[in-house]
């Protein structure tokens, strides 16, 4: 059921054809060089006239005060540029490249998730020394989840220990990528002086006297590299033969393959998602970025190169949304931001049709119409007003009120819901209290705005203590939230110690019975339910089903009983944490002709679940983190000993030049303050990263301590 109705409004002419548009993201592990790469792209494309540096706090896309102080990316920043291709079939043609620079820190993984949902291609940035790192694996999985074609940029070729081919091998081993070099480096470390294009078999040699990287010469491949270049060109062609019949036939017949034939084959293979071309470079030393931009245009898809986006109607029918300016409008709101000047900004990817300021859009989730007062193209923290946004564009709208992340906005009469991005559950929480009564209202407003912006930031209230509880993805995440409350909303607040977001589950089958009977004269209350509770595999989630027969519970009371079970699962029997990974079957019960009501059966469901939970050998689950520490050899023993003391399980130890990489699985509870400890153990020379992996049962001795100190209590 394609969306192809002609729009009634006259389409004004876009500046560049849709096939000359690229929507790309730059994603990688923290400190791999994403933001520096973005800065160089903007410089070579003429958007900025001076290269910003992350360590100086002058990067265009790291515009938040917290980003500039810490030297990390916290929020994804959108920016556009125009690039005139220098090589390939489209050489000399201008292309619009819309770029989203995403964070590398695991605490801000939601920014990567929602960005990749709306992008057509990605540059994965990898360190030439470290290769694939933990967060590299996470963003790679996210790219695969949303079927995003990608190319790999092996950055930091100028660093001591850089090894281009080892980095490619780690792409193959750790990510399962069909990765092949399409450029080779000339030299490495301080001798990294240029690149060899395996398509054209030419070299780009940089002028050592020009630090900007603007001066270079196209030359013959140096004699020392000819054999290597021919070897890897053969391997590249053999890999591409699986994707391009014309190239395969020409290769088998011994015909000479032109550079453009190879480039077309790379493009096909990349868009198929089964091939990843690799480019070496040094963003900091301004080498390889122009070739990377050519690769973006030559190999990553435009919106019309990809299959139509799929959505669903209210009736569950599949709808195809093609990139077409003349179709009815459909777009996905993937990010919200509160701007002190214009109010609520909604970032949107336009999938079909065009959008003019002043238009009215329908929100299928709310069933209401939103009036668009302004249309903007975002350039990091600055903005430019536009009159029209076209299919394939990424823009921001002002005026939408009841919009949340993941909402579809479409033309009136178009019943359509596009797939929203999905987000992980928070793993850490803390209490937060305003310092004065004057801060109370400001804090509530600030927390509401921040939770609207960030789907992984959750605000709740503890019913027992009345405290406000904030939950997020890590210590740094909540630290940034507190800092933003103070700076942006002028709120003075005190925060409690971070708490782990534990979960509970069951380990045995059980049956539970719940009755809610009240008789106080006149109509009473009567509800009675019996359930079976079974454990499910880890990560399976919750399944609650009705298998009553013979009308033992009237149809109108089934849903309240199931709702009661679901509500009771929010508070487990050990410490009152949410219960996960179980199956409940409602199989029996009874009712009273007069006294039964929805409320009585809801309470019966609650009591039945509590009864079954007590008998099902409940377990407390704690979040486990994948931790990777990179340290000089001499500190390996101390750091491994410390990880063992933290209940860590050492999984792998890998030597990388003069450094050792230690991979371990460690409970989040034991990782508080680890940044200070690892610096102390290594005299400031080691670094680490961590990301959530799973929930595992808490050992009995640790559980006893938690029960002694828990303030949540039982229900």
How much is the pLDDT for 112? 83
DSSP 3-state helix, strand, coil percentages of the chain (rounded to 5)?
Answer: 30, 30, 40
**How would residue 4 be classed by pLDDT, with cut points 50, 70 and 90?**
very low
Q: Lowest-confidence range among 50-59, 271-280, 343-352?
A: 50-59
How much is the pLDDT for 136? 83
Span 19-26, average pLDDT = 90
Tell me which residue of 690, 691, 686 sits closest to 630, measured CA to CA. 686
> pLDDT tens, 556-567?
999 999 999 999
Is 489's pLDDT higher than 50?
yes
Span 534-551, average pLDDT = 90
Give the separation between CA 603 and CA 594, rounded to whole angstroms.
Answer: 17
Q: Is 428-501 CATH 1.20.1090.10?
A: no
> pLDDT tens, 414-442?
878 998 888 877 878 888 888 888 888 88
Is 10's pLDDT higher than 50?
no
> pLDDT tens, 219-245?
999 999 999 999 999 999 999 998 888
Helix axes 289-299, 259-271, angle to 10 degrees: 70
**How would residue 314 be classed by pLDDT, with cut points 50, 70 and 90?**
confident
What residue segments make up the domains of the chain, in order of their start?
18-305, 308-418, 428-501, 504-616, 622-709
Span 486-502, average pLDDT = 82
Is 715's pLDDT higher than 50?
no
Give the separation between CA 386 and CA 356, rounded to whole angstroms.
Answer: 9
Is 270's pLDDT higher than 50?
yes
Is 525's pLDDT higher than 60?
yes
Residue percentage of the chain with pLDDT more than 90:
35
3-class SS of residue 610: helix
Q: Which residues contact 272 (CB under 8 A, 6 or more apart)?
A: 149, 243
How much is the pLDDT for 522? 64
How much is the pLDDT for 53? 53
How much is the pLDDT for 1? 41
Looking at CATH, the fold of the domain delimited by 18-305 is given as Rossmann fold (3.40.50)
Looking at CATH, the fold of the domain delimited by 504-616 is given as Ribosomal Protein S5; domain 2 (3.30.230)
How much is the pLDDT for 48? 67
Is 346's pLDDT higher than 80?
yes
3-class SS of residue 147: coil
**How would residue 667 be classed by pLDDT, with cut points 50, 70 and 90?**
very high
The gap between the terminal CA atoms of the chain, to the nearest Å, is: 50
CA distances for 600 relative to 161, 493, 559, angstroms: 69, 42, 12
Span 270-283, average pLDDT = 93
Tell me which residue of 278, 165, 154, 294 sits closest to 228, measured CA to CA. 165
**Domain 622-709 class, CATH top level:** alpha beta
DSSP at 307 = P
How much is the pLDDT for 693? 83
Buried b (16+ CB within 10 A) or exposed e, 352-366: bbbbebebebbbbee
Give the CATH architecture of domain 308-418.
Beta Barrel (2.40)
pTM of the model: 0.72
Is 343's pLDDT higher than 50?
yes
Task: Report residue 138: phi and psi, to 5°.
Answer: -65, -50
Give the separation between CA 634 and CA 616, rounded to whole angstroms.
Answer: 49
> pLDDT tens, 102-155?
876 666 777 888 888 889 999 999 999 888 887 788 888 889 888 999 999 999
How much is the pLDDT for 552? 92
Q: Lowest-confidence range among 297-301, 339-343, 616-620?
A: 339-343
Is 684's pLDDT higher than 70?
yes
In degrees to the nearest 10, what's the CA dihedral of 548, 552, 556, 562?
A: -50
Span 31-54, average pLDDT = 75
In this chain, the answer to whether the domains covering 504-616 and 622-709 adopt an identical fold is no
Higher per-residue confidence, 209 vs 666: 666
Q: Which residues contact 525 (CB under 8 A, 6 or more apart)?
A: 516, 517, 518, 519, 595, 596, 597, 599, 600, 603
> pLDDT tens, 145-200?
889 999 999 999 999 889 999 999 999 998 899 999 999 999 988 889 999 999 99
How much is the pLDDT for 68? 54
DSSP at 634 = G
Higher per-residue confidence, 684 vs 352: 352
How much is the pLDDT for 657? 64
How much is the pLDDT for 70? 53
Span 23-40, average pLDDT = 84
Mean pLDDT of the chain: 85
- Greatest alpha-carbon pair distance for the chain in Å reads 101
């Amino acid at each position: 059921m394609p969306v192809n109705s002609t729009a009634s409004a006259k389409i004004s002419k876009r500046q560049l054809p849709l096939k000359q548009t690229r929507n790309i993201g730059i994603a990688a592990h923290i400190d791999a060089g994403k933001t520096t790469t973005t800065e160089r792209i903007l410089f070579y494309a003429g958007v900025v006239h001076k290269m910003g540096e992350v360590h100086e706090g002058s990067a265009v896309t790291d515009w938040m005060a917290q980003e500039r102080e810490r030297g990390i990316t916290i929020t994804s920043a959108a920016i556009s540029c125009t690039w005139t291709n220098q090589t390939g079939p489209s050489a000399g043609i201008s292309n619009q490249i819309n770029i989203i620079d995403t964070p590398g820190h695991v605490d801000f993984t939601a920014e990567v998730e929602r960005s990749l949902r709306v992008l057509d291609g990605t540059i994965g940035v990898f360190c030439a020394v470290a290769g694939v790192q933990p967060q590299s694996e996470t963003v790679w999985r996210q790219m695969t989840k949303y079927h995003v074609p990608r190319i790999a940029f092996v950055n930091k070729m100028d660093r001591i220990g850089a090894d281009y081919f080892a980095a490619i091998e780690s792409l193959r081993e750790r990510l399962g990528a069909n990765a092949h070099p399409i450029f080779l480096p000339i030299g490495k470390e301080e001798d990294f002086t240029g690149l060899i294009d395996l398509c054209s078999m030419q070299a780009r040699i940089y002028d050592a006297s020009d630090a900007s990287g603007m001066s270079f010469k196209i030359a013959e491949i140096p004699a020392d590299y000819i054999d290597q270049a021919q070897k890897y060109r053969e391997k590249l062609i053999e890999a591409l033969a699986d994707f391009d019949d014309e190239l395969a036939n020409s290769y088998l017949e011994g015909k000479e393959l032109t550079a453009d034939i190879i480039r077309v084959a790379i493009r096909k293979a990349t868009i198929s998602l089964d091939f990843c071309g690799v480019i070496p470079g040094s963003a900091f030393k301004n080498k390889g970025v122009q070739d990377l931009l050519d690769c973006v245009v030559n190999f990553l898809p435009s919106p019309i190169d990809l299959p139509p986006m799929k959505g669903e109607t209210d009736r569950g029918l599949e709808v195809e949304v093609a990139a077409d300016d003349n179709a009815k409008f459909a777009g996905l709101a993937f990010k919200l931001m509160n701007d002190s000047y214009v109010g609520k900004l909604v970032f949107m990817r336009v999938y079909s049709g065009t959008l003019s300021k002043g238009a009215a859009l329908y929100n299928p989730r709310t069933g209401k119409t939103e009036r668009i007062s302004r249309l903007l193209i975002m350039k990091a923290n600055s903005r430019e007003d536009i009159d029209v946004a076209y299919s394939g564009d990424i823009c921001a709208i002002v005026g939408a009120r009841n919009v949340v992340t993941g909402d579809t906005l479409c033309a009136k009469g178009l019943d359509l819901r596009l797939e929203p991005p999905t987000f992980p559950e928070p793993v850490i929480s803390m209490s937060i209290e305003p310092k004065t009564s004057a801060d109370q209202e400001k804090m509530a407003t600030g927390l509401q705005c921040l939770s609207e912006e960030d789907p992984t930031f959750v605000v709740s209230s503890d019913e027992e203590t009345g405290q406000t509880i904030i939950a997020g993805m890590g210590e740094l995440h909540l630290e940034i939230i507190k800092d933003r409350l103070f700076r942006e909303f002028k709120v003075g607040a005190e925060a409690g110690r971070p708490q782990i977001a534990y979960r509970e589950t069951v380990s045995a089958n059980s049956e539970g019975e719940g009755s809610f009977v009240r008789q106080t004269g006149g109509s009473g209350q009567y509800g009675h339910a019996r359930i079976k509770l079974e454990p499910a595999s880890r990560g399976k989630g919750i399944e609650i089903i009705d298998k009553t027969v013979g009308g033992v519970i009237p149809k109108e009371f089934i849903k309240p009983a199931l709702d009661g079970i679901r509500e009771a699962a929010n508070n487990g029997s050990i410490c009152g944490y949410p219960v996960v990974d179980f199956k409940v079957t409602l199989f029996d019960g009874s009712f009273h002709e007069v006294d039964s009501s929805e409320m009585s059966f809801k309470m019966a469901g609650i009591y039945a679940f509590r009864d079954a939970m007590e008998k099902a050998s409940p377990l407390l689950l704690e979040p486990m983190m994948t931790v990777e520490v990179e340290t000089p050899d001499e500190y390996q023993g101390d750091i491994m000993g410390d990880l063992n003391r933290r209940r860590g399980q050492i999984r792998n130890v890998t030597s990388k030049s003069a450094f050792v990489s230690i991979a371990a699985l460690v409970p989040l509870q034991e990782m508080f303050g680890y940044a200070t400890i690892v610096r102390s153990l290594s005299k400031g020379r080691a670094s680490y990263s961590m990301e959530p992996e799973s929930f595992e049962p808490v050992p009995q001795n640790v559980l006893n301590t938690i029960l002694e100190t828990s303030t949540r209590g039982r229900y």
